[in-house]
Structure 1
């Protein structure tokens, strides 16, 4: 598999939480990480019906705009009792006229499980797809999954997105009750990143 030898990498996200996680993960490898917002890039519409499709769309747009190697992430939560929803539409469930509101998304998720009469434990998986694209268009895909369960009410003030209602298997705390270092050791994104590390020079 091709090795990433460049020391500067564009992470195609406007999500500050994801960007902080990526900076922490790449720092030990001496790779400088810049975000899409810092480069003045817009956010392409996520029109694909798969995580890898959306990641590829974001990576290609950012690579063509900057000529840098790009890492794009598409991730979300798949709830078993909702037939895998919201899945690739995780961010869409948080959309409001004034921006993204994940408390709204979490409330909707729990309410829909109630409406279906889904018993506890209400299982779910966080899924992350990392797509690394070189300036010549070659790409490599790395996927990570973290199984767990949902809790209500949400707990914890750390993290982002659905973190306050997700308890990973093997723990009693939500992602939002963990420090960034603790979460980064076990998260879906960390599992995908462990595979990506194999191509870092």
Structure 2
């Protein structure tokens, strides 16, 4: 069964391919099919993931999956949230991981509450008008560091410290991250739903 990923992020594709191998699904990016990215006008991860999944399903005429994820920081009222990938642009800075991390550190100056979490919403639809989308959430709790640590991963990985592992996400191996991350937690839930509702696997 072909499943179109509503993203052109190669690193995200690589993570999800490993996670969805048990179902024997052929995961392809929408970009490889010439499908443009959907608008993400909403304020929640679930709503944005749903609109992206429906868009990819409509354009590809096949089942689709979408991930909307980001960093939620307690002291910033949940920001950067759904704007995580382009957080720096809110402060007239370029859209890049380096600038996003730099802006976040600036916004956290003087704040004692460093609680933060990675959040992932995964949505799967069998078609664009599927009345029963499968929705899964994953949350990975940690603490924000004051300096970048580690060279692995992407995004805010060098800034989120996981106390139970005594490491930042960027210091973990790909295998560790795939087993423990917010995306992994959401994927486990979604795989369970796919088996039960879509009768896969």
**Fold shared by both chains (TM-score > 0.5):** yes
1:168 Cα offset (Å): 2.2
Superposition pairs of residues 34-53 of structure 1, within 5 angstroms:
34-53=28-47
- In the other structure, the counterpart of 2:161 is 167
1:150 aligns with 2:181: no
Superposition pairs of residues 5-24 of structure 1, within 5 angstroms:
7-24=1-18
Superposition pairs of residues 57-136 of structure 1, within 5 angstroms:
57-95=51-89, 100-114=95-109, 117-119=110-112, 122-135=114-127, 136=129
Change (3 A) 1:37 1:99: farther
Q: What is the total number of aligned residue pairs between the two structures? A: 192
Unaligned runs of 5+ in 1: 1-6
Normalised to the residue count of structure 2, the TM-score between the two structures is 0.89
- In the other structure, the counterpart of 2:181 is 187
Question: How far apart in 1 are the matches of 2:40 and 2:86?
Answer: 10
Unaligned runs of 5+ in 2: none
Question: What SS does the corresponding residue of 1:164 show, helix, strand or coil?
Answer: coil
Question: How far apart in 1 are the matches of 2:150 and 2:57?
Answer: 36
Backbone CA RMSD of aligned residues: 1.8
1:174 Cα offset (Å): 1.2
1:155 Cα offset (Å): 1.5
User: For the Cα contact (< 8 Å) 2:71–2:80, is it kept in 1?
Assistant: yes
Superposition pairs of residues 24-39 of structure 1, within 5 angstroms:
24-39=18-33
Change (3 A) 1:100 1:20: farther
Question: How far apart in 2 are the matches of 1:48 and 1:176?
Answer: 29
More deviation, 12-21/96-105? 96-105
Normalised to the residue count of structure 1, the TM-score between the two structures is 0.89
